Amino acid sequence: MNIANPGLSLPQLTIYGEKYHQAPWLLFTGGRAPTTDWIKKLPPAVKVFAADHGLDCCRESNIIPDYILGDGDSAAPDTWNWGKSLGVPVEEFPVAKDLTDTQLALTKMKKAPLILITGAFGGRFDHLYSLIFSCARENIPCVLCDEQEFVCFVKDREQLTCSFNQRPQAISLLPCSQNCTGVTINNVRWPLTEARLTQMSPTAISNELLPDKSNLTLTVGQGILGLYCHWGD
């Protein structure tokens, strides 16, 4: 942690920006489970939440969550019973509901200064789609991450710098609002300067970090833009 330039350190990269200098809350959800070794390298979390099948990952990694919620339809039955035996709050919901379990978890994390979400990728696309747009609209900064993929969000008049500990295979910009204007990104094969990106015609996909660079800076004038990085298997 650099106090003069605060940032959040993840196993693959460090994110520099004012909103990433606070200790995060961690949410395990029900997509592809991250490896236990990767989880051990995460920054210490103030609180840990488990949404349904995310509880299986907690159990596998010997992590006791502070709060468990969901409808219990995707967690292993013995894991769900294990969660109930821990003595931590468990909030159960009906299967027939409007919000996903992960969206419900976000409603319980409104006091978090920063939310790390793992187990977001590699599962059902519709759940990932709903989660990305839910996080994009959150006032709380949200980071979706595991050892293979990463998404964070840059909003109106924000600038973000990423320093990579491990070189990504691909870097993409995902407009999460109808338009994103004033988009500038450097140190990549196809840089942008004050560009306009549209949600209905995403064209800034699969960029590459320059061979001699280990960091990039992304600026957005107006809009909500997702920064996606991929490291592969």
**Per-domain residue ranges of the chain:** 6-147, 148-233
Local confidence pLDDT in tens for the 233 residues of the chain: 334 457 899 999 999 988 898 899 999 998 999 999 999 999 999 999 999 889 999 999 999 999 999 887 777 889 999 999 999 999 988 888 888 989 999 999 999 999 999 999 998 899 999 999 999 999 999 999 999 999 999 999 999 999 999 999 999 999 999 999 999 999 999 999 999 999 999 999 999 999 999 999 999 999 999 999 999 76
Which CATH number applies to 6-147?
A: 3.40.50.10240
- Fold match, 6-147 / 148-233: yes
pLDDT at 71: 81
CB 217 within 8 A of CB 187: yes
DSSP classification of residue 77: H
Q: Which CATH number fits domain 148-233: 3.40.50.1980, 3.40.50.10240, 3.65.10.10, 3.60.110.10?
A: 3.40.50.10240
pLDDT at site 18: 83
Q: Return the pLDDT at 4.
A: 47
Cα 209 from Cα 6, distance rounded (Å): 22
Helix (H) or strand (E) holding 183, with range, is strand 179-185
Report the C-alpha gap between 145 and 143 in whole angstroms. 6
b/e string for 85-98 if b means 16 or more Cβ within 10 A?
A: eeeeebeeeeeeee
| Cα separations in angstroms, 210 against 47, 151, 172, 190 | 37, 20, 14, 9
Q: Does the global pTM surpass 0.85?
A: yes
pLDDT reported for residue 5: 56
pLDDT at 123 (0 to 100): 82
pLDDT of res. 2: 35
The residues facing 68 across adjacent strands are 50, 90
Q: Would you state the pLDDT for residue 72?
A: 75
**Strand-pair partners of 220:** 158
The Cα 170–Cα 147 span in angstroms is 14
Decide: residue 58, CB within 10 A, 0-12 exposed, 13-18 middle, 19+ buried: buried
Residue 18 main-chain phi, psi, to 5 deg: -55, -35
